[in-house]
Amino acid sequence: GAGVSQSPSNKVTEKGKDVELRCDPISGHTALYWYRQSLGQGLEFLIYFQGNSAPDKSGLPSDRFSAERTGGSVSTLTIQRTQQEDSAVYLCASSSRGGGAGTQYFGPGTRLLVL
Amino acid sequence: KQEVTQIPAALSVPEGENLVLNCSFTDSAIYNLQWFRQDPGKGLTSLLLIQSSQREQTSGRLNASLDKSSGRSTLYIAASQPGDSATYLCAVTNSGYALNFGKGTSLLVTP
């Protein structure tokens, strides 16, 4: 079956612009995660969705970042007024089991470059 | 705050060698530990998941062990091949659900 897909695969934007990144999880997976991979910083958790529960936004670095998940499936991560330090690879993962219990399957990521 | 460390940061071995990658974590109250592989410009591929109650998991030429009390895990790769060249990431989940990642070991297997 299809894995986790993300779009766009690459995004170049100017400082100050808003961007939207999309994630399509594996069908039937109730848990969805966003991570960010920056040079020298490793992978860091951003936000977690589980079913219809309120998301855990504890990893979002600032209020310029927001995410939503519609219909318990597709998720969109929005970065407003982008800054150069937002440049990173944004990875989405999904899991059939919530609470961190199951294997997380990752998408190929969106490479964001803010000029 | 959970800290995950991977040693070595980079490793180069000739084809056919057996090798061990190390991962340590500061908070032993983990839920599970996962090893991933990342190829350049690609996402992460899950290799092995070890639940906190388990000691090891095996998949083909890969074997991962977990010593929760000492905060350590190892990934053993038998009979390495050039196709094994990639970055290997260790990640743990505590009482929450987010993965806490190490910075990875970059492996190069030369023909």
pLDDT tens-digit map of B21-41: 999 999 999 989 999 999 987
- Can you give the pLDDT at residue B41? 79
Contact A19/B at CB under 8 A: no
- Can you give the pLDDT at residue A70? 84
CA distance B89 to B95: 20
Res A76 pLDDT > 90: yes
- Can you give the pLDDT at residue A52? 82
- Can you give the pLDDT at residue A51? 84
Reported as a single tens digit per residue, the pLDDT across A89-106 is 999 999 987 766 678 899
- Residues of chain A with Cβ-Cβ distance to B45 below 8 Å are 106
Average of per-residue pLDDT across A52-61: 89
Hey, which bits of chain A come out as E strands?
5-7, 10-13, 19-24, 31-38, 42-50, 65-69, 75-79, 88-95, 105-106, 110-114
Tell which residue, B27, B91, B94, B88, has the closest CA to residue A58. B94
Res A1 pLDDT > 70: no
Res B105 pLDDT > 80: yes
Confidence of residue B96 (pLDDT cuts 50, 70, 90): low
Reported as a single tens digit per residue, the pLDDT across B61-75 is 999 999 999 999 999
- In percent, how much of chain B has pLDDT > 70? 98
Confidence of residue A42 (pLDDT cuts 50, 70, 90): confident
CA–CA distance from B5 to each of B2, B22, B35 (Å)? 10, 8, 13
Mean pLDDT for chain B overall: 94
Q: How far is B109 from chain A (nearest CA, A)?
A: 23
| For testing contact with chain B, the best of A56, A104, A105, A112 (most B CBs within 10 A) | A104
Residue of chain A whose Cα is closest to the Cα of B35: A103
Confidence of residue A71 (pLDDT cuts 50, 70, 90): confident
Average of per-residue pLDDT across A73-83: 96
